[in-house]
Amino acid sequence: EREPEPCPTREPPKIQPVAPPGPTRWGICSAGAISHDFVVALKTLPPSEHTVAAVAARDLGRAQDFARRFGIPRAYGSYEELAEDPDLDVVYVGVVNPAHLPTGLLFLRRGRAVLMEKPMGLRACEVAQLVGTARERGVFLMEGFWTRFFPAWRRLRALAVEGALGSPLVLRGALGFALGGVPRLREPGLGGGVLLDLGGYGLQMALALLGGGPSPSLWAHGVLHETGMD
């Protein structure tokens, strides 16, 4: 009997070195105060992880001033130009509240990931439209509640989930600023009011800790300004 022929030997596959991922490239939509604060915070992170690649405002001069202040390489005089920039990973949208829906849709429909400054929309139907568009296009969309990333908040959530706090029934919170001189907060057309501004922080904490299910019941009590805003 003949010995079986040996199996042919193969060279082991060459493993190509994997290049480390580059930094997340941010586009900044709007050159206002909240976008300024966001970029200041972003600049505290290593440039190997995050970089601001472009900024857009409705006025090119303001966008250019913003870019010079923060060393941003590209400035645009329209949001449409920012949406067409191919070298972006995510867009931070810091426009005024009533513009969140149309501006968010602009970027989502271009397939852009979006971090939307709070509130995501002025009404539930606006939020549903933004979320539906993001799911349809398969892109990332998030509302910018930065407190959810604080270590203290993560620890509190973990304790609640583990049952270490029992069954939370009441959350009492207070948040106050002297904002009487901010006309935007009193104007319905500008998305004013407490809950669409700072009050959302307490509300999202209550929903996260006390919701108990997908459809919690909500009651609101408050005082209305003469303009009709809460």
Give residue 178's domain range.
150-210
For the stretch 138-194, pLDDT in tens is: 999 999 998 889 999 999 999 988 989 888 888 888 888 887 788 888 888 888 888
118 is catalytic: yes
Of 35, 88, 94, 118, which one is the catalytic site residue? 118
For the stretch 193-202, pLDDT in tens is: 888 888 888 8
Q: Are residues 139 and 159 in the same domain?
A: no
Which pTM does this prediction carry?
0.84
For the stretch 61-114, pLDDT in tens is: 999 999 999 999 999 999 999 999 999 999 999 999 999 999 999 999 999 999
Helix (H) or strand (E) holding 28: strand 24-29
- Give the separation between CA 203 and CA 209, rounded to whole angstroms: 10
Tell me whether residue 224 is in a domain: no
Domain at 117, CATH number? 3.40.50.720
Check if the beta carbon of residue 185 is closer than 8 Å to that of residue 93. Answer: no
